[in-house]
Structure 1
């Protein structure tokens, strides 16, 4: 018999859970906010009229000093409630009166939220606050049980797409890679699997009038007219990535269909031959290598589109069309994969590859069939495109320290919006006025990395050099260097190009200087090795960016014989009487 409690809580208390950071979202199966304003308004209207609403299912997670609730079913409803209270939308043209509840009044008094007008009558708001929500609370025993509960709840409903159900109920290696790649390309990835409900809007995609953190029109798939806006909501992008990955991993090339996708995921407990082979290939090749290969090709294609100043369908078609674009994308992508990964070749000339791909759809022959896409048709078309563009590739014999992974940087910037304490941004290590390398700036940066780790178990720290999180800082660099920065979301990519110019060196020597500086840092050798093994030197639109990463290894990290902690944007030394509490953070 499972420990299941059915109880009721009024909206005021639920909002209290929200403001005290007790409502969690597990992004394995709850990946985005999708309700439109109309859907949110309709739900609030039901509450105002006293109509019954569906049960909200939560998993209770208890620790020594706190109890939190993971939302299994009801995230859209809970978000509708808290976003209405905080004035993100109106109902019947009126906004919630923040003084109707003590919790919302307190936050308003602190200046964290504003009162929008016209205000709804306080009596009505008080009735909304006292409305009782039905809750079913399940004592969490294992991740697998929660996943299965979610799948069973949603498998017979129409509010989730087939792909969302596939992903939600699967903890396979294949599902994990598809999940990570998809969210990283959309720009809604997060550093941790569990997020606060409070943070979900920062990494959700705009829906009509709802201003979430990610503009749906700027998502790669929509921007390039590969799929429509509503298809992002239905996770069509994940189906495309799943099809591509399976094609590159399976020996016998599969057909493309809904049933085949089910087999990739072992859907309905059917552990098919394809499912087993995919898991085996991922184990052999390694998840990180597979992701690296995927991004290598994605960046080639993305660079071609940027350089051509055309969207995908504009490039490959002489005349714009919306017919079967996802299939054309797969064919072009897989042809590039064959050359760049399988044959280890590189593009000889960006202009030539653009010319080769311009209007290439005339060499792609797709049948007029329905949902199923035969394996032989896809393979023949891939080979046809390879034959046309391969003369524009040459054998890749270089092994540079710099990699052109624009998606890597964009992904990290996206993650920082929900995990600010795990990220630190630096413009560079040189003083632009005195034009010299400042060792103290470098030392402080590494010290900050160790301070991030000292937050406890599973902590991770990122140092991004060449990116400003304030426009004023980027403008200061521009005034001195006369170089434009690149705006990406709320960040400003200046690059460390000015450092390289100041030191009158080149990319490789600058990168080696950074490695040498890390080796000279007063931290344990294993942490130096971890930083240098994970360091990345990226090229983002001509801007050189350095990313350093440090992960917790079961203990607090010492910097120059002292322990440090990050508090807000500052780094503070841990006093002797606080060291024991620091150590406790790493105990089981």
Structure 2
């Protein structure tokens, strides 16, 4: 494994108390490119505790050490389910042999108990037994100075044997490329556990996982889109069946002629060798990139939002297929409907006549002359080629050809905005939220300092590391006073999403004498004309600047990306620390930034 030769690897025993301390101090993180959601049942967790009590060996935990601004943290490559089992037991979330861990045994659990963050349940396990568990040592392997590609390879090798993973979880394990990225992002947005950052605190994983019997996590399975609409069975969602369906939807959206949907075809699209002819990983990735991950993300989640609004709380599966039971779901029926909607809305530029019209056309849709092949075999491209045009023709009756619309206002991206604002982003160094383009004085006036502030912030985000990508979102605030001021000055009501207040910027832009497209051109031209940032960085930043519509409110997104080396703004040196941008001297800058780039293995 040549990639890892320059990385330092150490294997050492660590007791559970020490690992819990890292967890308690927010030094354990989970990279969602690698790790599944929490999936173990109480029974599986109890068996692991039984192994500890009986002093049986436990497979090693694999971590990658990260250093940001001089602070060490550790990303879990392998061992999430095991560590969660230990920590949740140590926090009294389940019992072993009818007894609960004594929270007064170690300092960290006692601190949480004293702070009221956890509750001691009875009967308590003896102090000696609790101490023996906290002192139990397991092997921990730590990679230091490892590149992202190295970690990808390690994770792929660890998980390639399956070990209880579903077909798609094996396929997705450590997968890289635009296709894998869009599948991950869209799936998370639809489930409701989307986050801007791929790296999240291990403490946050519970709220990003699906509840099970006796384990109340953040997502109730009955509220997940796929289950509400009887499209995918609950247990199949837990086994990442939703991500497999999203993969099929993405391939249908970007590849023509429509490809066969089957397990071997999906594997080939992910770069796995199979003995059939199908769309290659290169073909699929290029097709996704031609549209753009963010645009495709917005389009796919917009169709989901439209379906929810059309159905008004009713099940799409029951509405379009009159069946007695839905245990296996209605995946292929949904896939055909979804693909037709994608064509109508984004390839033929059509709009629904009304939600009622779409609702009516979907009523008993598959009980008419149309039928669909079911079963576990592959869904052939020839069958799709015959069926999809018929589905589109029927659905077209509920749509009309719109007049040319301004591109900035063609798409409502509520789910996309939700996925960006979900999670703990308030202290995220790669996220910056701005309330708008105006100073809320009386009368309001343009914020003439904003452009320079944003360029400095963008440069600072690009200096976070060789793989860093930031998010600057304009049209959002956290202060109710600012939202109230926007209402008084511009007559706009804010929209709350995950504690953030969406103001939008349309009224501000119109106050300044521009329409949306005019403002878009103005800022892109201004970025490209700037002599204070390098030309390659200006080109990347300008191409990322675009409007996003959220329930009628227009926000603006920029995605600063690293060029693989430190950069400056007007010869000055900027770095992000938490949610703030700071200027440093040349010596300070080099001392902080050089390790972020030099430690990465090519």
Report the TM-score, using the length of structure 2 for normalisation: 0.80
Per-residue deviation, 1:423: 0.7
Equivalent residues in 2 for 1:189-588, closer than 5 Å = 189-190=194-195, 197-201=202-206, 203-208=208-213, 210=215, 212-248=217-253, 253-258=258-263, 260-262=265-267, 264-265=269-270, 267=272, 269-270=273-274, 272-274=276-278, 277-282=279-284, 284-287=286-289, 289=291, 291=293, 292-293=295-296, 295-306=298-309, 309-311=312-314, 312-313=316-317, 316=320, 322=326, 324-341=329-346, 343-347=347-351, 349-351=353-355, 352-363=357-368, 365-366=370-371, 369-372=374-377, 374-375=379-380, 376-391=382-397, 392-394=399-401, 400-404=407-411, 405-414=413-422, 417=425, 420-434=428-442, 435-469=444-478, 474=483, 477=486, 483-500=492-509, 502-503=511-512, 505-512=514-521, 514-515=523-524, 518=527, 523-524=532-533, 526=535, 527-559=537-569, 561-575=571-585, 577-585=587-595, 587-588=597-598
| Structure 1 residue 96, shift from structure 2 partner | 4.7
Q: CA deviation at 1:80?
A: 2.0
**Structure 1 vs Structure 2 CA RMSD:** 4.2
Q: Secondary structure at the match of 1:58?
A: strand
1:558 is paired with a residue whose SS is coil
Following TM superposition, by how much is the alpha carbon of 1:213 offset from its aligned partner in structure 2, in angstroms? Answer: 4.9
Answer with 60-69 or 295-304: which moved more.
60-69
Task: Return 5+ residue gaps in structure 2 as ranges.
Answer: none
Distance 1:293 1:62 in 2: 31
Contact persistence 1:430–1:502 (CA under 8 A)? no
In 2 relative to 1, CA 463–359 (structure 1 residues): closer, same or farther, beyond 3 Å?
same
Alignment of 1:24-43 (within 5 A): 25-37=30-42, 39-41=44-46, 43=48
- Can you give the 5+ residue segments of structure 1 that lack an aligned partner in the other structure? none
Deviates more, 1:502-511 or 1:325-334: 502-511
1:399 to partner: Cα distance: 6.1
Q: Is the 8 A contact 2:92 2:100 kept in 1?
A: yes
Is contact 1:465-1:547 (8 Å) kept?
A: yes
CA separation in 1, counterparts of 2:324 and 2:446?
51
**8 Å Cα contact 2:28-2:75 kept in structure 1:** yes
Q: Secondary structure at the match of 2:14?
A: strand
**What does the per-residue CA deviation read over 1:513-535, in whole Å, with 9 as the maximum and x for residues that have no partner?**
54466568673153443332101
Structure 1 residues 138 and 447: alpha-carbon distance in aligned structure 2, compared to 1, 3 A threshold: closer
In 2, distance between residues paired with 1:569 and 1:69? Answer: 21
| 2: CA distance, partners of 1:231 / 1:12 | 35
**Cα separation, partners in 2 of 1:190 and 1:535, compared to 1, 3 Å:** same
Shift of 1:104: 4.7
Q: TM-score scaled to structure 1, two decimals?
A: 0.81
Instruction: Give the whole-Å Cα distance in 2 for the aligned partners of 1:172 and 1:130.
Output: 41
Separation (CA, whole Å) in 2 of partners of 1:365 and 1:425: 48
Moved more, 229-238 or 206-215: 206-215
Aligned to 2:56: 52
Report whether the alignment pairs 1:164 with 2:164.
no
Shift of the 515–350 alpha-carbon distance from structure 1 to 2, 3 Å rule, reads farther
Contact 1:85 1:98 (8 Å CA) reproduced: yes
Deviation at 1:474, TM superposition (A): 4.4
What count of residue pairs does the alignment treat as equivalent? 578
**Counterpart Cα distance in 1 of 2:469 and 2:376:** 43
